[in-house]
Structure 1
């Protein structure tokens, strides 16, 4: 049995045929061409026919006319994408959609040639990266005519949202919360997922900086598999240290839940024997036993802020790294906050 043929796309020629008007007149109306004296009644006739037929503008043709597409590209690192990133993307997309733009996400493998192919295919109106672009990547965007870029290609080191908030910022806030509770010996529990190695190292670095600011020793750092027995082994090793930690920052809530499970098998209680702080505030955190104290990012608000920053650049404002919340030396905003429950 032969498959159904795909529906043919409605074109401006179909609209012209439907209205009995010339293709030129219809094109002027559909493209909102300036300096054309077309009666309002004719305009309405064309637009009503276009809506009735289901006409939509052909994106490649629109790109050729304007020199850019209506696409904004969000370049993501190769992290597993959790709820916080989903909320970030959703809110950013909502703001951009309201401005007539479409958000496209791209997980970057690190090959600048792949990004060059992306720019050539999409000719994006704007690009946002979770980390600064390399000089080679920035040159590829320049050749493709992409001028609205965040962070700006010449940003100073450290001016990137990925390392400041999702990486170092979370680790710092976790440690600061535990230090404020009176803990002086901390541990940092990393995931054993190789995709998260750099991200985990960055969060542990943020916690270490908080300890250094408080004149404390850096955290004991260990990988904790998502397995109860393996987590119990790590806990046993910590407790055998000459100065065992009294609190632990977990890379994320999943690692924290593994620690709580391992503690139960050893007859340990949180926070009496070991305070535990997670990150990301996943739904399961509030139902853990004990309920999990965690650090979260108001990622939706952050996504909306970034989208508005891109729109300002498209309107001609300069791309100022200092306008970024929580970037580089700028203090972390209220976007990063502790959700205090029973585990710490």
Structure 2
């Protein structure tokens, strides 16, 4: 029996099974083109199980030229429950395919990602925002097999395509269908969310333009009732309904309107658990983040198999309005 204080190696498995190191290596590495009898293969696997053998990741990386890691590069956003659901489902799908998902929040520092590519040699990389030309070149140098968005679309912003612009459009369309012709769009004052906020507000503006209506009045608030009340008071009654960047902003607006003793229809986004307990219960745009995560993971797996990833092909109902009493 091998010494339990050190890592169990294929040499130990070969000794335990009474077979050559070459045969054991072929079985443990699932080497193609080898005719190993099934009885011999089972003998190796049983010996490996008895010893508690696990493959040594750095050695496997050297042999294959890459690790069994899939890397999600996330922008420096607040990581709420929607992103957690996306990552959890993606990890499950990739795990079933033998890949380990690692997430990295990228703050935009020079050479940060290049060092990450070199350290991990990932099998696949997904970016929640477009990679720069320099980042793409660094990935090409280390021969990462699958990169999404694909390198031939360096300006493609997957986050906008999936749930940013579309959320704003759905919010505005819901209010317009209720007969509202002048809307406001309210954003949080968190600088990390500035680009996302612009995307959602632009989506609402597009919906208004399609309906022949003026662009929404855009306001930015701190996350407290006083700031929300100031924004509502500044509109002087012109907007008749409000799109909030997310449910937390919507809750702040409801609190601010209570301070003023007024009310306007409000629609949020993300359908956080507290939304249904708001006063009034909050109408919101829900996002099936788990389905989006699965979609991204399967696109990465197709790219690894040198197939068309089909990243754009999301079901139309992956985001949808949950109507409650606030709008």
Report the TM-score range of the alignment, normalised by the length of the smaller protein: over 0.9
Tell me which of 233, 238, 244 is aligned to 1:244: 238
Deviation at 1:112, TM superposition (A): 5.0
C-alpha separation in 2, matches of 1:7 and 1:339: 56
Deviation at 1:167, TM superposition (A): 2.0
1:151 alignment partner in structure 2? 149
- Counterparts of residues 103-182 of structure 1 (less than 5 Å): 103-155=101-153, 157=155, 159-182=156-179
C-alpha separation in 2, matches of 1:32 and 1:86: 34
Tell me which of 193, 196, 207 is aligned to 1:196: 193
Deviation at 1:7, TM superposition (A): 5.5
C-alpha separation in 1, matches of 2:124 and 2:154: 20
> Does residue 59 in structure 1 map to residue 47 in structure 2?
no
- Counterparts of residues 1-344 of structure 1 (less than 5 Å): 8-155=6-153, 157=155, 159-238=156-235, 240=236, 244-269=238-263, 274-319=264-309, 323-325=311-313, 333-344=316-327
Deviation at 1:276, TM superposition (A): 0.2
C-alpha separation in 2, matches of 1:261 and 1:7: 61
CA contact (8 A) 1:134 1:153 kept: no
C-alpha separation in 1, matches of 2:318 and 2:280: 25
- Structure 2: gaps spanning 5 or more residues: none
Deviation at 1:314, TM superposition (A): 1.4
Q: Deviations over 1:89-140 (max 9, x none)?
A: 1111111111111111111122351111111111111111112212111111
- Secondary structure at 2:298 match in 1: helix
CA contact (8 A) 1:171 1:206 kept: yes
CA contact (8 A) 2:163 2:319 kept: no
- Structure 1: gaps spanning 5 or more residues: 1-5, 327-331
Q: Across the two proteins, how many residue pairs are aligned to each other? A: 324
CA contact (8 A) 1:78 1:109 kept: yes
Q: CA 1:29 to 1:165, structure 2 compared with 1: closer, same or farther past 3 Å?
A: closer
C-alpha separation in 2, matches of 1:228 and 1:52: 62
| TM-score normalised by length of structure 2 | 0.93
Give me the CA root mean square deviation: 2.0
